[in-house]
Structure 1
């Protein structure tokens, strides 16, 4: 269906009718704002994505990522980002989760400073869910959000002092197939940004906050510069001062860690900080160095922040951000509380150890995936911060320079049959949930999102490609993987029960896992083929 407002030639076409609730979000005026953004900015996205592929080609041929000689002057000169708003000065604990209605209320009510409402890795972007999510965030900003549990009648409403809201949009690579521009799907991130900004900027500013965003999966400062132009255009369209829109950029790709100064500089008026998106970063390490047999990671369970390449990444992020007056946010604790007291004590100890490392490195705050862990994470940062709101005073400038070699250091640890089988079960269960429209899934005591499933399938792909050996002497081949996949499907039947298994889409998920893991070329993101399954 095309919309044709009077005296306006529309090139943006909507591919599916809207119901009444959806039409409240994709109004005619909101639609026109999306169209203006798409008309101006969508055409440049293919070139940005092509530049990623060209860089990857050079790395595949033997080059290693490094700091850019052509931007040395930006790294060497003294400058600061513009400013950080008052309600973002203290971000010691942030919770993340998809934009489902009950979850939005619970996250905003949690013992945290910020809720990152996610249209990306913990969200499966089926069209109804995208528009429902925007409606949920609009209602949250307006203070009218409420939810009644159908089974129990339990009611959920916002507390008087909810957390600060930040919206994470989709990555540049993800399309939105329900809106076509000149016959092609538009970038999903432009729709996510446009609708959240359009519906909420006025109410947010009136209550002393603002339109705040998390930007995922950036790989180069040119992509950050594109976003800066998008933000400036939106500010000009609505008569807002430059720098009203604020963003935190996730450093969750290996190429981006070498361009943190340049990313901050490109978004200087709009950026408030960088975040250690550690799980995607591990996936990106595998993906970027896929042709380098000396850089192959062990079982993902042993790739912790204590490993030299990850610790260097954390320390460099703190050093870079604080030099520029920007926040350095820590990464995700994916654990979830357990009803078993002994297991729960183990989980809380893991959280405390992990967050202590981040706080000691100088991070200004951290992420949790579950409200039940917020208190433990907060206690760590409360102790380190004392009366301070953040650690911007920890500059780490006395540290020895962190080199490319440290950031690329090989990681020790075993590749085990148990680890490989575990990866298979996690990835299949996650893919099954995702193609059913659920992007955030508790599996074996962890809150899994797309990043952890990506690590699982990319690790095995790389082990197969390079004929790596497991600790028991078995060589990892496509045939061995397929055999294990079939065996682990039987395990899943036992764990889930035949009825649950038969009622799900586990066979489709296994088929997708098989294609992704044994393909000649490593598929960039499992969410791209997965998106074809979503309505």
Structure 2
């Protein structure tokens, strides 16, 4: 362990000595120490306020609403966010879910014709120590033009850096005896090593902020930006950030979030699955917030999601900020002449045209082959580099609009699909991957969240299947999960180690969806409460096993055979 001025850092993973030495210089460690020491108390406070808000909703039975104490911000028509830099004004199509530790995918993204790259340390990434160091170092290489087969940073698609959200910590670094917040670890290293060069090349530093739940959290980020700009000698407003509105509570504070970040705002982003899952997280124990089968009844045309997107566009454009939509997760088949290829293009076009017509200024795709057709779609149905002129004064969004669940039930197909996505995501996570491919599209923690959330909620409310009237019970979910394992093994297992890992993933999934209390974030649950740490400690397997067997879940986990642990070592 490397110790310097109150900072304890684990040694580098095998094979990453150069990357470690480049990133963890004495100056960088001092910067991280100062950053974390300054803001750890406020991070603790906002996490406690999240808990308090949930308790208040549960105890009072109240519904989310627009805040009375911040009405003056919403009612003041004069304020605007600072204008975004030139390179952010036209971002019709970004590449999303790009795990930065995947060097070849990052280089392909840099060479693409996309306007931006969502360099994702959050949803599309599994935050092993190896992945974080490799990913941050890859960004360093891109910014410093060290990739010989990629364009210079001033000519490449602009990097939109997405650090982890506040629910994540970094196990491998401690400051003043505490594990540091994951987002401060990511943000601090990215800024320290890249900010000045990005600014000199008019290419950043630009960020996505995940899972912000209130304007107070936006205020904290703004304070972090101001402190960092001062510490690194950057002009105020150099950092620009797009906030992902992924929580139903945040949808009632969009204007306040923009206001708090007005010097540093690049706009807001709307997406479907994390946002939908937040209803289960915050309100899912209430029968009136039962979310029907997402495979059949949940899409951006439904009232609660369409209202959320309309309000986001209206709010952003009213304040001079950019509004971006979600990601097209579908993958194009290789045969461009096939009927399936045409169907995928038609489906993506219809969904993204809906967003363009709502007034969004851009959205994301995963498949690089979708970049050009989606850019053409933007050019055909919008004018100029963005749609800021669409003020959407034609709409008025009420709390009822935002909180009305779509009608519909649950199908056997939808239940099985959610189970498969949940199990396969946990399996990917335990393999060190933050996303995977299933049934023609990319799946990540966002789709895993909605999948496990729906299964938990359907069990909780004992909903009946449309197919045959059976109730969704723990027994039924266990039976379906075990039945699916045959197909999942055939599709994803090549070795005994793969089978053992998948079996463990199934056990963890069943534990999560059968819990009495809803685990707030699946990734936090996996990151803190299970075998994640042992999957990183390949240099000390015995210590990893001891850690697992001394955890809170020792009785359950230690009943697993030693062969299960070999899947993670």
Equivalent-residue separation in structure 1 for 2:515 and 2:73 (angstroms): 40
Give the ranges of 4+ consecutive aligned residues of structure 1 lying more than 6 Å apart after TM superposition: none
1:157 Cα offset (Å): 3.6
1:525 Cα offset (Å): 1.0
Give the alignment of 1:163-182 within 5 angstroms.
Answer: 163-182=157-176
Q: Cα deviations across residues 141-169 of structure 1 (Å, max 9, x unaligned)?
A: 122225xxxxxxxxx54479321111000
8 Å CA contact 1:60–1:290 kept in 2: the answer is: no
Equivalent-residue separation in structure 2 for 1:518 and 1:503 (angstroms): 23
Q: Look up the match of 2:82.
A: 82
Whether 1:476 aligns to 2:477 is: no
Whether 1:269 aligns to 2:263 is: yes
Q: Look up the match of 1:485.
A: 481
Give the alignment of 1:142-221 within 5 angstroms.
Answer: 142-146=144-148, 157-158=150-151, 161-221=155-215
Count residues in correspondence. 519
Instruction: Select which of 410, 428, 441 maps to 2:405.
Output: 410
**Farther off after superposition, 261-270 or 173-182:** 173-182
Alignment partner of 1:272: what SS? strand
Q: Look up the match of 2:360.
A: 363
Instruction: Select which of 25, 28, 32 maps to 1:27.
Output: 25
Give the alignment of 1:45-60 within 5 angstroms.
Answer: 45-60=43-58
Stretches of structure 2 lacking an aligned partner (at least 5 in a row): 537-569
RMSD over equivalenced CA pairs, Å: 1.6
Q: Look up the match of 2:291.
A: 297
Alignment partner of 2:69: what SS? helix
Whether 1:126 aligns to 2:128 is: yes
Equivalent-residue separation in structure 1 for 2:492 and 2:203 (angstroms): 45
User: Structure 1 residues 418, 27: closer, same or farther in 2, change over 3 A?
Assistant: same
Q: Look up the match of 2:71.
A: 72
Q: Look up the match of 1:256.
A: 250
Q: Please report the TM-score for the alignment, with normalisation by the length of structure 2.
A: 0.89
Alignment partner of 1:69: what SS? coil
**Farther off after superposition, 298-307 or 129-138:** 298-307
Alignment partner of 2:180: what SS? strand
1:504 Cα offset (Å): 5.8
Stretches of structure 1 lacking an aligned partner (at least 5 in a row): 5-9, 147-155
Equivalent-residue separation in structure 1 for 2:400 and 2:127 (angstroms): 38
**Farther off after superposition, 503-512 or 489-498:** 489-498
Q: Look up the match of 1:278.
A: 272
Q: Cα deviations across residues 243-270 of structure 1 (Å, max 9, x unaligned)?
A: 0111000011111000000000011110
Equivalent-residue separation in structure 2 for 1:415 and 1:212 (angstroms): 41
Give the alignment of 1:388-407 within 5 angstroms.
Answer: 388-399=384-395, 401-407=396-402
1:132 Cα offset (Å): 0.8
Equivalent-residue separation in structure 1 for 2:394 and 2:19 (angstroms): 56
- Structure showing greater relative contact order (alpha-carbon pairs closer than 8 Å, 6 or more residues apart): 1
Q: Look up the match of 2:340.
A: 343
Alignment partner of 1:343: what SS? helix
Q: Look up the match of 2:8.
A: 13
1:500 Cα offset (Å): 7.2
Q: Look up the match of 1:91.
A: 91
Q: Look up the match of 2:444.
A: 449
Q: Cα deviations across residues 367-394 of structure 1 (Å, max 9, x unaligned)?
A: 11120111222122111223x1100000
Equivalent-residue separation in structure 1 for 2:486 and 2:394 (angstroms): 55
Q: Please report the TM-score for the alignment, with normalisation by the length of structure 1.
A: 0.94
Equivalent-residue separation in structure 1 for 2:205 and 2:436 (angstroms): 28
